[in-house]
Amino acid sequence: MNQSQLGILKGVLLCSILFISETGCKKHRGADSTTSSGPTLRIGEVGSMTGSEGTFGISTHQGIELAIQEINAEGGVQGKKLEIILVDNQSKADEAATATVKLISQDNVIAILGEVASSRSMAMAAIAQDFKIPMISPSSTNPKVTEQGNYIFRVCFIDPFQGKVMAKFARNNLKLSKVAILRDLKSDYSTGLSQYFKSAFTESGGKIVTDESYNSGDIDFKSQLTKMRATRPEAIFVPGYYTEVGLVARQARELGLTIPLLGGDGWDSPKLAEIGGQAMENSYFSNHYSNENQSPYIQSFIRKFKQSYGVVPDGLSAMGYDAAKVLASAMTRSKSLNPADIRDALASTQNFAGITGNISMDSNRNAIKSAVVLKVAKNGYFQYQTTISP
Ligand code: PHE
């Protein structure tokens, strides 16, 4: 963890302690600025700042923060500055739901950014929809997230596409015909993506030789991997989050399985290679962006990000940045700053030039975009392989 990540973490912890002790944390409970009539425009953010997917929340928040700083430096939106009110959900769905209620009912936010993990976004979306507060998930890819209602948006592609991307890559680029699946039964993201990959891979002539599962939080995958080994797969598709995937990689190698692992965007974390070490090398995953993209717009984003946080932004930071910018652009175009008008403006988002690609909302409030495939190379470096378009 770098200095700024530590700083954020401390701020979040301090805020939640103050909040519990009822002495009041201004960021969370200030009574001086409410809704669009206050001095600032309050936007809620719900993120996993701590817990098993802690890097997702931290990275996303840094991207959002950078975007908000830029927007405010340019004068804000309709003459007012934006204020982000961040709540940590500790990587838990029930906490994400509680945070959403608090942001809407106590902080009177006019829009919400979050979450990353699909299961947590689904818990939030049901509430945001109920209260008719627009919500944008930066990077939740399960279709069910935006199906919760017409106030729920995302700036990323969805998993039926992401599953096809990896199936195509496995068949055409890696020339594989026999793949095993290892899915996380507790994650809507993982079960969904496994299903989409399975159908796309089978439709293109491949065979799924074993379909095994685990539950997030598990640390021992040896019995699943041993069963798998007997079916002689050429790769293992393991669309989980980085903590478990890193452990799976180590244990697979210990059992003599040297075949590549394949996965989705849930691998995108500096912790993946920290946990998995060399065992992660020569594996492949689909993602929203590559920092090797030489477009001047992307390279300037990377420079600014490095200046602020001292690290190269991962895909989550890029998605957080895009989500905040898409929201600000909609608020600028909106008839008024009422949540209903912001919703309508968001729905009309077309050709927004994001870091992660061109963002247009389709009629289901999903963005239609390309994906990149990255290889985990030496020292955990994510090396660009190819771009696959819808
Ligand atoms: N797409 C994942 C999900 O829906 C979340 C994720 C996105 C994780 C991007 C890492 C990077 O659960």
Contact 189 CB / ligand 1 (< 6 Å): yes
Q: In angstroms, what is the span from residue 206 Cα to ligand 1's centroid?
A: 25
Confidence of residue 30 (pLDDT cuts 50, 70, 90): very low
Q: Which of 187, 50, 45, 48 is nearest to 128 (CA)?
A: 45
In a domain, 215, yes or no: yes
- pLDDT at residue 246 greater than cutoff 50: yes
Q: How far is residue 227's CA from residue 148's CA, in Å, rounded to a whole number?
A: 38
Q: How far is residue 66's CA from residue 245's CA, in Å, rounded to a whole number?
A: 29
Confidence of residue 45 (pLDDT cuts 50, 70, 90): very high
In a domain, 330, yes or no: yes
In a domain, 177, yes or no: yes
In a domain, 100, yes or no: yes
Q: In angstroms, what is the span from residue 214 Cα to ligand 1's centroid?
A: 18
Q: In angstroms, what is the span from residue 266 Cα to ligand 1's centroid?
A: 5
Contact 66 CB / ligand 1 (< 6 Å): no
| Residue 274 and residue 151 share a domain | no
Q: Identify which of 140, 148, 186 to mutate to test ligand 1's pocket (most ligand atoms within 8 A of the CB).
A: 140
| Residue 71 and residue 183 share a domain | no
Contact 237 CB / ligand 1 (< 6 Å): no
* Domain boundary pick from 264, 287, 310: 287
Contact 118 CB / ligand 1 (< 6 Å): yes
**What element of type H or E holds 30?**
none
In a domain, 387, yes or no: no
Confidence of residue 35 (pLDDT cuts 50, 70, 90): low
| Residue 107 and residue 33 share a domain | yes
Q: In angstroms, what is the span from residue 349 Cα to ligand 1's centroid?
A: 22
Confidence of residue 37 (pLDDT cuts 50, 70, 90): confident
Q: What burial letters (b/e) apply to 155-194, b meaning 16+ CB within 10 Å?
A: bbbbbbbbbbbbbbbbbeebebebbbbbbbebbbbbbbbb
Question: What tens digit of pLDDT does each residue of 324-364 get?
Answer: 999 999 999 999 999 999 999 999 999 999 999 999 999 99
| Residue 176 and residue 267 share a domain | yes
Atom of ligand 1 nearest to the CA of 162: 1
| Residue 245 and residue 104 share a domain | no
CATH code (residue 209): 3.40.50.2300
Q: Which of 216, 220, 196, 190 is nearest to 208 (CA)?
A: 196
| Residue 209 and residue 138 share a domain | no
In a domain, 385, yes or no: no
Let me know: does 42 contact 331? Beta carbons within 8 Å: no
**What element of type H or E holds 159?**
helix 159-168
In a domain, 81, yes or no: yes
Atom of ligand 1 nearest to the CA of 137: 4
Question: Nearest residue CA, atom 8 of ligand 1?
Answer: 266
| Residue 47 and residue 144 share a domain | yes
SS3 content of the chain, % helix, strand, coil (to 5): 50, 20, 30
Placement of tokens 């685990």 in the chain: 214
Question: What tens digit of pLDDT does each residue of 184-204 get?
Answer: 999 999 999 999 999 999 999
Indicate the DSSP class of residue 31. Answer: S
pLDDT score of 38: 79
| Residue 318 and residue 257 share a domain | no
Higher pLDDT: 20 or 220? It is 220
Q: Identify which of 61, 116, 272 to mutate to test ligand 1's pocket (most ligand atoms within 8 A of the CB).
A: 116
Confidence of residue 16 (pLDDT cuts 50, 70, 90): very low
Confidence of residue 12 (pLDDT cuts 50, 70, 90): very low
Indicate the DSSP class of residue 173. Answer: I
Q: How far is residue 202's CA from residue 225's CA, in Å, rounded to a whole number?
A: 21
| Residue 236 and residue 214 share a domain | yes
Task: Tell me which residue range forms the domain holding 275.
Answer: 159-287
* Domain boundary pick from 227, 259, 287: 287
Q: What is the mean pLDDT of the chain?
A: 92
Contact 117 CB / ligand 1 (< 6 Å): yes
Question: What tens digit of pLDDT does each residue of 97-133 get?
Answer: 999 999 999 999 999 999 999 999 999 999 999 999 9
Question: Nearest residue CA, atom 6 of ligand 1?
Answer: 266
| Residue 115 and residue 34 share a domain | yes
Domains contained in the chain, number: 2
Q: In angstroms, what is the span from residue 138 Cα to ligand 1's centroid?
A: 9
Contact 141 CB / ligand 1 (< 6 Å): yes
For the chain, how long is the longest CA-to-CA vector? 65
| Residue 113 and residue 233 share a domain | no
| Residue 227 and residue 134 share a domain | no
In a domain, 383, yes or no: no
What is the amino acid identity at position 185?
L
* Domain boundary pick from 230, 252, 287: 287
Contact 143 CB / ligand 1 (< 6 Å): no
Atom of ligand 1 nearest to the CA of 142: 4
- Read off the tokens for 63: 């991207």
Contact 266 CB / ligand 1 (< 6 Å): yes
Q: In angstroms, what is the span from residue 111 Cα to ligand 1's centroid?
A: 21
Atom of ligand 1 nearest to the CA of 189: 12
Question: What tens digit of pLDDT does each residue of 209-219 get?
Answer: 999 999 999 99
Confidence of residue 14 (pLDDT cuts 50, 70, 90): very low
> Rounded mean pLDDT of 286-294?
97
Atom of ligand 1 nearest to the CA of 117: 12
Q: How far is residue 96's CA from residue 114's CA, in Å, rounded to a whole number?
A: 9
pLDDT score of 293: 96
Residue 43 in 3-state DSSP? Answer: strand
Atom of ligand 1 nearest to the CA of 116: 5
